[in-house]
Amino acid sequence: MSTHTLKSKRRHPDTKRIRIEVGHITFELSPKDKTFALIAGEAATAKDRRPLFTGFIEKGMDAQLRQVAFQFKMIEQGYE
């Protein structure tokens, strides 16, 4: 069961959830069950703020996210 759904948040409000906003997307991480959710961060209505995607945090994802961050940095600096 995902700890990222509205129902779960109401049932377990004290569960630790780490929220990190990146542009228009919010990453929500749950250390307890090692899961994550991607949420539309600037959604106008509550129904649109539900997770777009959820999944388990797997080995190697940190390196993949660093690759994405590196590409963002290169684009920001004008390199391709």
Q: CB-based burial of residue 69 (10 Å sphere; 0-12 exposed, 13-18 middle, 19+ buried)? A: exposed
Kindly report, residue by residue over 13-39, the tens digit of the pLDDT.
778 889 998 988 999 999 988 999 998
What letter does residue 7 receive in the DSSP assignment? H
What letter does residue 24 receive in the DSSP assignment? T
**1 pLDDT more than 60:** no
CB atoms within 10 A of CB 26: 19
d(CA 55, CA 80): 30
pLDDT: which is higher, 5 or 66: 66
Q: What is the pTM of this model?
A: 0.77
Kindly report, residue by residue over 66-80, the tens digit of the pLDDT.
999 999 999 999 987
Domain locations along the chain: 6-76
**10 pLDDT more than 80:** no
